[in-house]
Amino acid sequence: MILTVTLNTALDVTHRVPRLLPHASHRVTGVAERPGGKGLNVARVLGALGHPVTATGFAGGPSGALVRELLAAAPGVTDALLPCADRTRRTLAVVDETTGDTTQFNEPGPQITAAEWAAFQGRYAELLTGARAVALCGSLPPGVPVGAYAVLVRAARAAGVPVLLDTGGEALRRGVAARPEIIKPNAAELAELTGSRDPLPATRDARRRGARAVVTSLGPAGLLAATPEGTWQAVPPRRLAGNPTGAGDSAVAGLLSALTEGLDWPAALTRATALSAATVHAPVAGEFDPRTYDEVRGSVKVTQL
Amino acid sequence: MILTVTLNTALDVTHRVPRLLPHASHRVTGVAERPGGKGLNVARVLGALGHPVTATGFAGGPSGALVRELLAAAPGVTDALLPCADRTRRTLAVVDETTGDTTQFNEPGPQITAAEWAAFQGRYAELLTGARAVALCGSLPPGVPVGAYAVLVRAARAAGVPVLLDTGGEALRRGVAARPEIIKPNAAELAELTGSRDPLPATRDARRRGARAVVTSLGPAGLLAATPEGTWQAVPPRRLAGNPTGAGDSAVAGLLSALTEGLDWPAALTRATALSAATVHAPVAGEFDPRTYDEVRGSVKVTQL
């Protein structure tokens, strides 16, 4: 199985309103809830692709219980989340049905105790023994040390399990130094890591900081990968309209599934790019549209640089 | 004990943000949750005043479980909520810390089945046998017939329990015809019921529609009461700055507690007005500030009209 780690899971709530007016009272016309946090999004996409996947991290309080209840309905995903005493954060997306724009409210994550973090590391070590690859995804909740991903990368390397790290800021800076197999920054995370806004030199620079391969997501412009086997850019056949939420997580799922199947980089990047595009184009934020995926993956353009 | 009925309970969530910007992403700097819905607010104020109170209505799903958990911490309140299969609505208040303004998002209530509504009526009849007064408060969730309050008013009258009805629209129109002891509309609900925006004639008109007494809440201008014993206006000593959320519910608690203590109308209106003012002035929306209550209740001005 593939293991995904989401230390800062979330209950993602979407409210639809006819029109957002600041300081007014709104009747919510539609409510949707789904398990959130990058690693859970990756797990759901892997499960939907038919890859056995185990999701770990923390879940606590009523929002955490609901995350687990919703996760139980995701095909192919095994729930190995650990309880925490504080409550899982909620994210609220308010969609203005007149303009289509979204206004986002993100609660702070739960306070994780030292004992909970220690318990997590024990569970993670157990889960690694059955894992073919691991994805470490998203922000760190309060209480988890900023060097946490470096610790988890080293544990995976010691167990011989390839690890993909998808985070930003100081957690990425520390994590990359522990030599993960792949990092997948977006343009902003890459610029923060390297100090450069020029994607190609910055992607190459990020590799020198410790990652075996760096795959940078460039939004509608696709993916840029610097690897020991070469450097490639993968571009979707056309710009798809929609919601970019979760597109990066689908790219991670594409890369990880390809990695465990032994595909080469052009094939892996094709899959990741197509899944990303199919997520932007899906009617529900964070899901991928299987028809778009099937249609797009035959025509992703991969160029060696 | 006093019985309060909240068919459409809510989990009231407050998010504080530094500044609300439509279509932006916000880091929530403060999260607060409390049991909501008018009847639960009334119950909490009665409990805080030292009156034994039982709260009934519906609660379902994870949000309903959280409402019950939070209600268990309210002193003096006995939880007699019935489960429903659908989930209790959430209300979200986003407070802009720069301007102090609030933007409100209200989810639709749970769908109540015919069996759940029938079960509620049985439980309500049992609870009435121990009640000295009953408050029927707030909106009706989907599935509950629009004539529900008329049914509940008649059952209370048959059991010899005085009933206060605090709702609006068609539920109020039907309910008042069943002859409750008191209705407590605000200015907008009164205008909708009577077609008149002139508070004094409208309050008297509302009495002729069936209520023994009508107490209209006029916001900062206090309360206007038309009763068989006379007509009064009660005005707070000064305009208090703050959040009017829950001020009407505190007035209901004041009226009901006075009713069960056998106080006369001027004393009841004084208490209701002072509690209302102390709720506006409280630091937390929907709570009342005991110091303001003690300070204000000696100087409410009650005038017979």
Write the pLDDT tens digit of every residue in A209-235: 999 999 999 999 999 999 999 999 999
Q: Confirm or reject contact between A142 and chain B (CB < 8 A).
A: no
Q: Which residues of chain A are within 8 Å of residue B69 when distances are taken between CB atoms?
A: 62
Query: Which residues make Cβ contacts (< 8 Å) with residue B214, sequence separation at least 6?
Result: B182, B183, B184, B185, B190, B203, B204, B206, B207, B225, B226, B227
Section A33-47 average pLDDT:
96
Enumerate the active-site residues of B. Answer: 249
Model pLDDT for residues B87-101, shown as the tens digit of each residue:
999 999 999 999 988
pLDDT band at A97 (very low <50, low <70, confident <90, very high): very high
Section A270-274 average pLDDT:
97
And the tokens for B205? Answer: 């008109």
Section A182-192 average pLDDT:
96
How far is Cα B137 from Cα A215, in angstroms, rounded to an integer? 57
Does A254 score more than 90 pLDDT?
A: yes
Regions of chain B with pLDDT less than 70: none
CA A190 to chain B, closest CA, distance in angstroms equals 20
pLDDT, mean over chain A: 95
Model pLDDT for residues A114-166, shown as the tens digit of each residue:
999 999 999 999 999 999 999 999 999 999 999 999 999 999 999 999 999 99
Q: Confirm or reject contact between A274 and chain B (CB < 8 A).
A: no
Q: Which residues of chain B are within 8 Å of residue A29 when distances are taken between CB atoms?
A: 108
Q: Pairing between strand A25-27 and A89-96? A: unpaired
How far from A4 is each of A30, A58, A211, B174, B220, CA to CA, in Å?
30, 12, 18, 56, 55
How far is Cα B205 from Cα A209, in angstroms, rounded to an integer? 79
Give residue B286's pLDDT: 73
Domains of chain B: 1-44+51-144 (3.40.1190.20)
User: Picking from A73-77, A185-189, A287-291, B7-11, which range would have the lowest pLDDT averaged per residue?
Assistant: A287-291
Searching chain A, which residue's CA lies closest to the CA of residue B102?
Answer: A23
Searching chain A, which residue's CA lies closest to the CA of residue B11?
Answer: A62
Q: Confirm or reject contact between A70 and chain B (CB < 8 A).
A: no
- Which of A20, A62, A106 has its CB closest to that of B22? A20
The C-alpha angle A288, A290, A295, rounded to 5 degrees, equals 115
- Residue B128: what are its φ and ψ, rounded to 5°? -60, -30
User: Do B15 and A63 lie within an 8 Å CB cutoff?
Assistant: no
Give residue B245's pLDDT: 82
Give residue A85's pLDDT: 98
Q: At residue B173, what is the residue type?
A: R
Which of A280, A213, A204 has its CA nearest to residue A242? A280
Q: Which residues pair with A93 in a beta bridge?
A: A14, A104
Searching chain A, which residue's CA lies closest to the CA of residue B69?
Answer: A62
A-B contacts at Cβ under 8 angstroms: 79
More confident residue, A77 or B245: A77
How far is Cα A30 from Cα A16, in angstroms, rounded to an integer? 5
Q: Which residues of chain A are within 8 Å of residue B96 when distances are taken between CB atoms?
A: 22-23
